[in-house]
Amino acid sequence: MLLADPLLALGIRPIGMAVHHLEEKEDLAGLTSDKAEGITRVGDVYSPSLEGILKLKPDLIIGMFFHEQIYKQLSAIAPTVLVEEQKYDWIKKNLRYLARVLNKEAEAERVLSHYQARIAKLQDKLNRQPQEIKVTVLEHHNGSFFIPGSADAPHEVFSDISLIHNISHTDTEERQISIEILDQYDADILFIMDYDGKPKSLLKNPLIASLNVVKNNRVYFVETSLWHTGGILGLNRLLDNIIAKRYFEYLSKDK
């Protein structure tokens, strides 16, 4: 799941992948179903099926840092490489690391140059310096609010645009916050990844309705399947979504 995206971006199609599940649904972390079609599933990303991997007879196994406890078992099946945890720019660092392992460094730089050119084009359209624009991203699930971690895609894309953003700079994982302190996360634009599917009821809460960003009608409920991504293909799709939805239209020079 987290590794299939960068591998596909490098022109390599894996024969198998472990996936994550949210509420019993397959979560491809921003990878489209057509891209994942034909790739054999080998269990959950946190508990991959060793038997399923063995049946595929892979030449190389690429796992995550949290697979260290089963590294010996994986290595007994095929040579195994584990991707290290990164606190910042995880998606780009991960792509470059895999490119070095697979001798695809030129392709990785081509893919990243294309992405950076798209970022620069978006920056150029803003009528204010990106550093003057404050953005907040919140996740909402099971009735609670969370700030995405520094390893999450929104952190990476908004950092690349150079926007000020309220995303945890110290925690790689999401961090729960109390609704009573949401005023500390007021911003020019608020993006909410609502996994509970009740956006209208959220805005009726007085603590949320009192935020300036709500009063200014700059709150956007975004597609979680697009904003929860783990690779450069997904990062480009997130950027596609930002551009298509015109979230920064009111800040455009062309307005």
Does residue 141 share a domain with residue 38? no
Q: What is the mean pLDDT of each run of 10 residues along the chain (255 residues)?
A: 88 92 66 88 92 97 94 97 82 94 97 96 86 90 86 87 73 78 92 85 90 94 87 92 88 68
Q: Which of 73-108 are b and which e, b meaning 16 or more Cβ less than 10 Å from the residue's Cβ? A: ebeebeebbbbeebeebbbbbbbbbbbeebebeebb
Does residue 174 share a domain with residue 60? no
Does residue 137 share a domain with residue 71? no
CATH number at residue 199: 3.40.50.1980
**Residue at a domain's end among 32, 51, 84:** 84
pLDDT for 211 equals 95
Residue 106, in any domain of the structure: no
Q: Is the pTM of this model over 0.85?
A: yes
pLDDT for 136 equals 92
pLDDT for 60 equals 97
pLDDT for 23 equals 56
Does residue 217 share a domain with residue 162? yes
* Parent domain of 69: 4-84
Alpha helices in 57-198 (DSSP H): 71-77, 90-102, 105-125, 153-161
Does residue 130 share a domain with residue 29? no
Does residue 237 share a domain with residue 137? yes
The token pair at 61 is 């196994």
Q: How many domains does the chain have?
A: 2
Does residue 246 share a domain with residue 134? yes
- Specify the amino acid at residue 109: E
Residue 77, in any domain of the structure: yes
pLDDT for 5 equals 92
Residue 130, in any domain of the structure: yes
Residue 63, in any domain of the structure: yes
CA distance 97 to 84: 9
pLDDT for 20 equals 76
